[in-house]
Amino acid sequence: MAHSREVARGEAGSGRLRRRGSLSGPRRLLVAAAVLVGMTMAMTAPAPATTAAQRQQQQQVTYVANQTSDNVSVIDTSTNTVVDTITVGDAPRGLAITPGGTRVYVANADSDNVSVIDTSTNTVVDTITVGDTPWALAVTPGGTRVYVANRDSDNVSVINTATNTVIDTITVGDDPVGVAVTPGGTRVYVANGGSDNVSVISTATNTIVDTTTVGDGPVAPIVTPGGTRVYVTNQLADSVSVISTATNTVTDTITVGVSPEGLAVTPGGTRVYVANVGSDNVSVISTATNTVTDTITVGTNPLGVAVTPGGTRVYVTNGLSDSVSVISTATNTVTGTITVGSEPVRVVSGLIPD
């Protein structure tokens, strides 16, 4: 049955941070969405939620990386139906959408490369060789760089999106499995699952400027829209660490469900949604109090979380149900379930040019 499949492959059960284990990935979809609005409005500061009028001029889409079927499902967010399926590399894990919404970058863990999807055609237009077992990636707010966490080579590849070539490689901690960029684009936070810390990279120099110890088995960092805090799931500690970006120290630790993995923050920055692989639910954290205010039951082995640019819905991948649960943020209830590919892991929601 489903759970034994997961455990047999060394995934979310014991040893979940080994090999395929740490169902990880990043969550800078929010950053991407916010920056997209920023660009549209020709501003530099990250914007909060988009207006209804703005969203109507663009298409709201959600991309899902399906690890076992080696493809990406494209969901039209207005109808909640799968409108396309794109074959990518071997074992797609992490993905991110560029601020302008024209490209989606996909980290293929077992083929050691990154697929570049053109969102106007939903075809792969480039493939970039990176380090060993790329697990997660993040795009800078300006859209010029992609940072890729390579779990088995313990480093980060930096891709120049103008040429789609690797221009730098940065050694980080043990087993980097998650990555996030600050809204200002000056810092990159990398979760090192094996060394229980987070590396802080300066994008100006592509060097490590700080290392923050967090909980056991950190998986996925996200940065709040205001850029003041980083939330990172600690998969082996059943908790989320809150890091102040001003001091790069942990200011809070929040107990959530069992084996938390993916997480996402709402555009207004008031809530963080956390997928708990081991308890088949989602914890809702209030960022005002850093406490869990709600728990929502979803499918089996929820792994990835994305919030829509308007902040009204949350998409959660259910790794062993081959589906995505749709949560209304107004009620924190599941309002729909969408069948996708095999073993969906990461998900990103954003706006693409219509």
**Is residue 132 involved in binding Ca ion (CB under 5 A)?**
yes
Provide the minimum distance between the beta carbon of 236 and Ca ion in the complex, in angstroms, as a whole number. 6
Q: Taking the CA atoms of 244, 206, 176 and 143 in sequence, report the sign of the dihedral they define.
A: positive
Nearer to Ca ion, 175 or 238 (CB): 175
Provide the minimum distance between the beta carbon of 336 and Ca ion in the complex, in angstroms, as a whole number. 28
Q: Which stretch binds Ca ion (CB under 5 A): 76-84, 131-139, 296-304, 331-339?
A: 131-139
Provide the minimum distance between the beta carbon of 29 and Ca ion in the complex, in angstroms, as a whole number. 24
Q: Which stretch binds Ca ion (CB under 5 A): 156-164, 214-222, 269-277, 292-300?
A: 214-222
Binding residue for Ca ion, selected from 11, 112, 261, 280, defined by CB under 5 A = 112
Binding residue for Ca ion, selected from 6, 70, 322, 343, defined by CB under 5 A = 70
Residue 2 phi/psi, 5-degree rounding, is -55, -50
- Say how many residues touch Ca ion, by CB under 5 A: 9
CA distance 113 to 129: 4
Q: Taking the CA atoms of 12, 17, 19 and 20 in sequence, report the sign of the dihedral they define.
A: positive
Provide the minimum distance between the beta carbon of 131 and Ca ion in the complex, in angstroms, as a whole number. 8
Provide the minimum distance between the beta carbon of 61 and Ca ion in the complex, in angstroms, as a whole number. 24
- Cβ atoms of residues 304 and 262 within 8 Å: yes
Q: Which stretch binds Ca ion (CB under 5 A): 40-48, 56-64, 135-143, 190-198?
A: 190-198
Region for residue 238 given its phi and psi (left: phi exceeds 0; alpha: psi -120 to 50; beta: otherwise):
left
CA distance 350 to 71: 18
Which residues, other chains included, contact 240 with Cβ-Cβ below 8 Å and sequence gap of 6+? 231, 232, 233, 234, 253, 254, 256, 260, 263, 272, 274, 285
Nearer to Ca ion, 256 or 284 (CB): 256
Nearest to residue 194, comparing CAs of 170, 218, 222, 230?
Answer: 218
**Is residue 90 involved in binding Ca ion (CB under 5 A)?**
yes
Nearer to Ca ion, 17 or 282 (CB): 17
Binding residue for Ca ion, selected from 74, 117, 161, 196, defined by CB under 5 A = 196
Provide the minimum distance between the beta carbon of 271 and Ca ion in the complex, in angstroms, as a whole number. 28
Structure tokens at 96: 């991110």
Nearer to Ca ion, 196 or 322 (CB): 196
3-state secondary structure of 36: helix
The total of other beta-carbon atoms located within 10 Å of residue 253's CB is 14
Q: Which amino acid is it at 137?
A: L
Binding mask 321-350 for Ca ion (x = CB under 5 A): ------------------------------
- Cβ atoms of residues 146 and 128 within 8 Å: no
Q: Do the strands 176-181 and 187-192 form a parallel or antiparallel pair, or are they unpaired?
A: antiparallel
Provide the minimum distance between the beta carbon of 261 and Ca ion in the complex, in angstroms, as a whole number. 15
CA distance 111 to 130: 9
Provide the minimum distance between the beta carbon of 130 and Ca ion in the complex, in angstroms, as a whole number. 10
Q: Which stretch binds Ca ion (CB under 5 A): 29-37, 117-125, 216-224, 285-293?
A: 216-224
The total of other beta-carbon atoms located within 10 Å of residue 164's CB is 16
Give the CA dihedral 190, 193, 197, 202, nearest 10 degrees: -10
b or e along 304-320 (b: 16 or more beta carbons within 10 Å of the residue's beta carbon)? bbbbbbbbebbbbbbbb
Provide the minimum distance between the beta carbon of 234 and Ca ion in the complex, in angstroms, as a whole number. 9
Nearer to Ca ion, 238 or 280 (CB): 238
Nearer to Ca ion, 90 or 354 (CB): 90
Write out the residues near Ca ion by the rule CB under 5 A. Answer: 70, 90, 112, 132, 154, 174-175, 196, 216
